[in-house]
Amino acid sequence: MSNSPFKAGELLSQIEIPKDLREKFDVEQLPEVCDELRDFIIDVVSQKGGHFGASLGVVELTVALHYAFNTPEDRLVWDVGHQAYGHKILTGRRVNFHTNRKYKGISGFPKIKESAYDTFGVGHSSTSISAALGMAVASASKGDHDRQHVAVIGDGAMTAGLAFEGLNHAGVEKSNLLVVLNDNCMSIDPNVGALKDYLTDITTSHTYNKVKDEVWHLLGKMSKFGPSAREIVQKVEQSIKSTLLKDSNLFESLNFRYFGPIDGHDVIHLTKVLEDLRDIPGPKILHCVTQKGKGYAPAEAGSPTKWHAPGIFNKDTGEIIKVSPNSPQPPKYQDVFGHTIVELAEKNPKIMGVTPAMPSGSSLNIMMKAMPDRAFDVGIAEQHAVTFSAGLATQGMIPYCNIYSSFMQRAYDQVIHDVAIQELPVVFCLDRAGVAGADGPTHHGAYDIAFMRCIPNLVVSAPMNEEELRNLMYTAQLEEVKLPFVIRYPRGEGVMPEWKTPMKKVKIGTGRKVISGSDVAILTIGHIGNEAVSAVQTLKKKGISAAVYDLRFVKPLDEVLLHEVFGKFDHIITVEDGCIQGGMGSAVLEFMADHGYNAKVQRLGMPDRVVEHGSQPELWAECGYDAEAISVAAEKLVSKQSDSHAGMAG
């Protein structure tokens, strides 16, 4: 039945759904199933790309969970979803797995609409405990006390406030909830903070673990001795933890039964433990120690950050395959940010860098290496990152808070309450603004223009190229700029191979005319303006003269420029790589209405629907604002104008 170009092993090929795993194989066969599942992931990801290390690290855990629990009747909730490739393969998507993260293919993250086994859609971290608790409470309210609810969360995701909020609530409920803590000391970059140190202390306490084995043995016999034995075991455990770890267990202080740490790569033992825990009521946490990249030697020996999503690689040698261009290529915007902030900080001692767990993704790691005392990875904690930055600003510092656009959604209140209202000069660098490519809707930076431009005291800008990014970063730290300053820019490369230009001040609230024209005006904001420039060349061949204006700022708007545009053009197109509802085009329409102009304005941008995954060019085309779509829209506007004039003449 398979049309997949990738062949599964003898056992894996018999598994279409987890029921097959449970019914066709004995526990002793699970290690071989794991080997075949790991090989299949390596085969596909090495040729097709995708998230890699995280999924290899939970192969045994994935198999054990689907074997021990009656999924999908029992609810399994994955946190973030980077690690869910094995889950997808075991739940009916093996044949289509090669389309993972490809345009019109399956999603790289669990997704409710894709499978009944994906009980909750994810992509951002730390949601699993709250979601699974909600499911558990709902089951209890319906009288369904046998259904199990499992949240699988990494130690990186556990650092976020939402995870602790979920734990705190779950501790006072008596719901069937198991939290599996997948502890590998990593999120994408190495984890930071006190919780990481705490988990390491638990994991490496040899005395505690030796005695703990005896507790496990006793726990396995518990059913033979009735309910009183459960109380005895619990008291024994608490005594061991308090004495040998020298303080109370963090999780048990939240009313969770804590079990572990155990080897997350021993699938047979892991399965038996999960089966035991299935019979223990109430909130429980199982601490599993795993290794990212497990079972693939180059990933085990190499950098976990490098092997998080390595791209295409030679599975036999571990060599990551990169195409060598014939000419100099533009840099990634994130790298322009990373090098430029160091350049600025060398001259301005007030500048500091802040990022919530994305030093590599944002390239703040360049500053962290050059100036470790002035650059901070605060963990998966966007709210804290913003308020921490606000605190720095109150003391005269100039924090550059680099957060992915979609992650900034999690810290919106802090932007308003802690920064904007107090007029603190925090610089927000929003990476991954616009469509984010293969990561899909959870990672598209669709909404930041709309949700930022409505906040008082905020400057909101977007560079069209690398030079403009450097100039905006330079401007934001100048003494006379005393307001919070947003700079949004996309994932991927810019357009200037020779990008390291001298930095100069940009007058806040000013745009620029990029190309002169007479038939139609195209107003753009940010990198997508380069698509408009390409469209102009196509239109020129068709005899249409189009002007391009780079607004550069959506707040404050360049009203002088807009008066010029509305005074000269009857037909105007706005183009933005962001949601069309409330975005830059809406701001232009507001200006037109406020000043009594009456032009025909067509807005191009992300439509009012969830945009799925694909490459950026594929999604620009789908959403109707790539170069071709812009030229088509302009041609239609001009032809309508011509038809109108012809009708009047007739």
The one catalytic residue in 36, 60, 237, 382 is 382
* C-alpha to C-alpha distance for 601 and 574, rounded to whole angstroms: 7
> What is the spatial order of strands in the sheet that 283-289 belongs to?
75-78, 149-154, 177-183, 283-289, 257-263
Q: Which helix (H) or strand (E) holds 372?
A: none
| H or E, element range at 125 | none
Provide the 3-class DSSP secondary structure of residue 392.
helix
Question: Known catalytic residue: 292?
Answer: yes
Residue pair 545/499 in contact (Cβ under 8 Å)? The answer is: no
Token pair for residue 468?
Answer: 């403009």
Q: Tokens 């043995």, residue?
A: 217
Catalytic residue among 410, 552, 555, 603: 410
Peptide bond into 261 cis (omega under 30): yes
- Give the chain's length: 650
Coarse DSSP helix, strand, coil percentages of the chain, rounded to the nearest 5 percent: 45, 15, 40
Q: What is the DSSP letter of 434?
A: B
**Residue with tokens 């599996």, as numbered in its chain:** 180
Rounded CA-CA distance 67/26 in Å is 10
**Catalytic pick from 93, 284, 292, 374?**
292
CB 315, CB 339: distance < 8 Å: no
Name the amino acid, one letter, at 475.
Answer: T
For the packed helices 161-170 and 128-141, what is the interaxial angle rounded to 10 degrees?
A: 30
Task: State the number of CA atoms in the 13 A half-sphere of 599 facing the CB.
Answer: 30
Measure the CA–CA gap between 205 and 247, rounded to whole angstroms.
Answer: 13
Taking CA 120 as the corner, what is the angle to CA 115 and CA 123, rounded to the nearest 5 degrees?
Answer: 105
Q: How many CB atoms lie within 10 A of CB 417?
A: 13
DSSP for 469-497, written as a single string = HHHHHHHHTSTT--S-EEEE--SSB-S-S
β 512-515/546-550 pair status:
antiparallel
Q: How far is CA 1 from the centre of its chain?
A: 34
Q: Which residues are known to be catalytic? A: 292, 382, 410
